[in-house]
């Protein structure tokens, strides 16, 4: 499925489903959450990752998911602002699950520790904000058939 265009299809996904995601996503981890998002999160999907440096001639470095629960504190607010989905790894807090249900969004999980594998599904990468954060900068990523699982669906059902 393609995002953000096919955002509506997110509602039909069920916890445990395997999804191949294409389109545009943004990276954000601890520092961006703490400092504040420099773009409108409405209808967007964010990916919790901090890639390794890009080798000359390559698109991106190793880029697997980081632990989502560190972002739990800020997530209900972001969802209230219209954020459509998140990609990360590991369980979420009760508050986040409630907010996922309330705002009818999806939490996708990627397999932790498989950054060299996920690199192949990123077709374009560009730092669009906070370059001074290094690996924690906001990257705009074009992804193609990025393989994911639905961790928590829009009904709040979790696979954890």
Partner 1 sequence: MQQKRKLKKIEKEKFVDTVVLLCKEANYNLPLSIVKALIRARENETDERPREVLSILIENARIAHDKKIPICQDTGVVSVFLEIGRELIIDFDIYSAVQEGVKKGYKEGCLRASIVFSPFNRTNTGDNTPAIVYTEFVNEDNIKILLIAKGAGSENQGGVFMLKPHEQEKIPDIVVDYIKDKAPYACPPIIVGIGIGGDMERSCFLSKKALTREFLNPDKEIAELENSLLSRINRLGIGPGGLSGKTTALAVRIETHPCHIGSLPMAINIGCYATRYKKAIL
Q: Which residues bind partner 1 (CB under 8 A)?
A: 16, 18, 31, 49-55, 61-64, 66-67, 69, 89-91, 109, 111-117, 119-120, 133-135, 147, 149, 159-160
User: In this complex, which beta carbon is closest to partner 1, that of residue 7 or of residue 148?
Assistant: 148
User: In this complex, which beta carbon is closest to partner 1, that of residue 8 or of residue 56?
Assistant: 56
Q: How far is the CB of 37 from partner 1 (least distance, A)?
A: 19
Q: How far is the CB of 133 from partner 1 (least distance, A)?
A: 8
CA 127 – CA 139 distance, rounded (Å): 4
In three-state secondary structure terms, 6 is coil
- Which of 102, 133, 122, 124 minimizes the C-alpha distance to 33? 133
Q: How far is the CB of 21 from partner 1 (least distance, A)?
A: 15
- Which of 148, 159, 122 minimizes the C-alpha distance to 10? 148
Query: 155: which 2 tokens?
Result: 């009904």
In three-state secondary structure terms, 101 is helix
Q: How far is the CB of 48 from partner 1 (least distance, A)?
A: 11
User: In this complex, which beta carbon is closest to partner 1, that of residue 102 or of residue 160?
Assistant: 160
> Residues 153, 20: contact at Cβ < 8 Å?
no
User: In this complex, which beta carbon is closest to partner 1, that of residue 22 or of residue 120?
Assistant: 120
User: In this complex, which beta carbon is closest to partner 1, that of residue 22 or of residue 67?
Assistant: 67
CA distances from 102 to 48, 79, 157 (A): 21, 9, 12
Q: How far is the CB of 125 from partner 1 (least distance, A)?
A: 13
- Which of 39, 26, 25 minimizes the C-alpha distance to 136? 26
């Amino acid at each position: 499925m393609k995002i953000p265009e096919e955002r509506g299809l997110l509602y039909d996904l069920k916890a445990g489903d395997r999804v191949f995601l294409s389109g545009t996503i943004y990276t954000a981890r601890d520092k961006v959450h703490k400092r504040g998002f420099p773009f409108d999160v409405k209808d967007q999907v964010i990916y919790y990752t901090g890639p390794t440096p890009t080798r000359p001639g390559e698109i991106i470095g190793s880029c697997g998911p980081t632990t989502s629960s560190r972002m739990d504190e800020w997530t209900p607010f972001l969802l209230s602002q219209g954020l459509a989905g998140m990609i990360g790894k590991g369980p979420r807090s009760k508050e986040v699950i409630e907010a996922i249900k309330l705002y009818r969004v999806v939490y996708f999980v990627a397999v932790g520790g498989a950054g060299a594998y996920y690199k192949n599904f990123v077709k374009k990468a560009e730092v669009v904000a906070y370059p001074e954060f290094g690996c924690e900068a906001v990257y705009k990523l074009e992804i193609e058939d990025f393989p994911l699982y639905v961790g928590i669906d829009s009904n709040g059902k979790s696979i954890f």
